[in-house]
Chain A
Amino acid sequence: MGRAEPASDGAVVRAVLAGDVEQFAVLVRRYRDRYARYAAHMLGSADAAEDAIQDALIRAFDQLRHCREPDRFAGWFFLILRNRCFAERRRGFREARPLEDSQEVATSVDGPDGAVERIERRRALERALLVLTPEQREVLVLKHVQGLPYEEIAQLTGATVASLKMRMHRAYDRLRDELEEHR
């Protein structure tokens, strides 16, 4: 027996626009987790990421009739989330802090001391990330956390590969300085 193909993003968007609001749940399930790491690193916490993703999904629904290319909903949704993250960063966002990592000590295989040191290094790096500009931080997160190549980041953000590399390279220098100071 053949399995039904999942509906494409374009088909789901068109169904929602035709009045079937419940179909939007398909897009929620499909995209709620995809950019969670991105939002968490951009905003400094998983809680803030969850708020941002919730807002972005609701805004996407509100603006759905402006989605010119329903088959490319993923990229369009990313831009909404990105705008939301940048806006929050510009507002000085909530208490910036490293991502939660309290459970790591208990689960670490290299003993509590090694784990504590690793967590300290991670915290120092997360603190250093907070001094980057949102654009520098974004490219670092997309490249080194999400693992995307520059070409894909360029497609997502609309920036050129050359300018992304420039941002990234400045971010490396800035991080080096920042971590040097806290050493």
Chain B
Amino acid sequence: MTREFHPLVKRLLDGELTLGDLPLELRREGEEALRLLAPLDRAPVTLSPALDARVMATLRRRAGSPATVRESFRARRVWRWISAPRDVEIRLRVRPWAVGALAAAAVLATLVLGRSSAPPVGDAVAAFGSTRPGVLVRFVLYAPGARRVAIAGTFNQWDREATPLAPAGRTGVWTTTLALAPGQHQYAFVVDGARWVPDPAAPAVDDGFGRRNSVVAIAGPGGRAL
């Protein structure tokens, strides 16, 4: 049968009480408890100085040469800058007759150019598939009362500020549309800059550290977002 320490003795071991705080009849048990943990080895543990070199050698092998990695990251950043969708607002001040003239000119140009250079439909689809930057994915979160909502994930290095969602009026619905490259992306919403919320509409995986990440998988050309 387990011999349990008195609760006050456990508080002594926790450092919340001293021996003098214990009633006299518990002092002996208190001393026994303190003797129990006294031999605990609290000395620092020395690791080999070679550990740093071993770790860095492994990382360099995995990542390729540093220069190559830096270039590939730089290229990826440029590509992201080019391919990220942006909201553009254009205001035009025109006279009605000018709109009519422009529309007529556009129809005429389509008819003339369309006859001479239109590729077969199949070619057009193939060309689109091979050059598009990614698949547009709309992210939606219902977060009434939130002051701001952003999305952070593997596609933006988990940057909590980089990709804000826009509120849809006062409905509590927040949305954004991102162009994502084919592959699997993990992400979560960040509400008011601090609270991480997985996407209730998407499957989630354990991130290995006790939290849940939502997952969106983008198929290659011709595929679709899962």
Centre residue among B2, B69, B158, B186 by max chain A CB count within 10 A: B158
Is B208's beta carbon under 8 Å from chain A? Answer: yes
Residues of chain A touching chain B, judged by Cβ–Cβ distance below 8 Å, are 14, 17-22, 24-25, 28-29, 32-33, 36-37, 39-41, 46, 49-50, 53-54, 57-58, 61-63, 65-70, 76, 79-80, 83, 99, 101, 118, 121-122, 124-126, 143-145, 147, 150, 158, 165, 168-169, 172-177, 179-180
Closest to B71 in A: A19
Number of residue pairs spanning A and B whose beta carbons lie under 8 angstroms apart: 146
* 30 interchain pairs, CB-CB under 8 A: A17-B157, A19-B74, A24-B59, A33-B44, A33-B47, A37-B44, A46-B47, A50-B51, A53-B47, A58-B58, A58-B59, A61-B59, A65-B157, A66-B207, A68-B152, A101-B41, A121-B39, A122-B40, A124-B39, A125-B37, A144-B37, A145-B41, A165-B14, A168-B14, A173-B3, A173-B4, A175-B36, A175-B37, A176-B4, A180-B3
SS of A interface (majority): helix
Residues of chain B touching chain A, judged by Cβ–Cβ distance below 8 Å, are 2-5, 7, 10, 13-14, 33, 36-42, 44-48, 51-52, 54-56, 58-60, 62-63, 66, 69-74, 77, 152, 154, 157-158, 160, 186, 188, 196, 207-211, 213
* B73 proximity list for chain A (CB < 8 A): 17-19
A68 to B58 alpha-carbon distance, docked (Å)? 24
A172 to B32 alpha-carbon distance, docked (Å)? 11
A108 to B163 alpha-carbon distance, docked (Å)? 61
Q: Are A68 and B188 in contact (CB under 8 A)?
A: yes
Q: Are B158 and A36 in contact (CB under 8 A)?
A: no
Q: Are B2 and A28 in contact (CB under 8 A)?
A: no
A179 to B55 alpha-carbon distance, docked (Å)? 39
Centre residue among B37, B38, B41 by max chain A CB count within 10 A: B41
* B52 proximity list for chain A (CB < 8 A): 25, 28-29, 32
Q: Are B158 and A177 in contact (CB under 8 A)?
A: no
Q: Are B40 and A57 in contact (CB under 8 A)?
A: no
A176 to B30 alpha-carbon distance, docked (Å)? 12
A17 to B72 alpha-carbon distance, docked (Å)? 11
Q: Which of B41, B46, B59, B196 contacts A68 (CB under 8 A)?
A: B196
Given A19-B66, A83-B209; 5 other pairs, CB 8 A cutoff: A14-B157, A32-B47, A68-B188, A101-B41, A118-B39
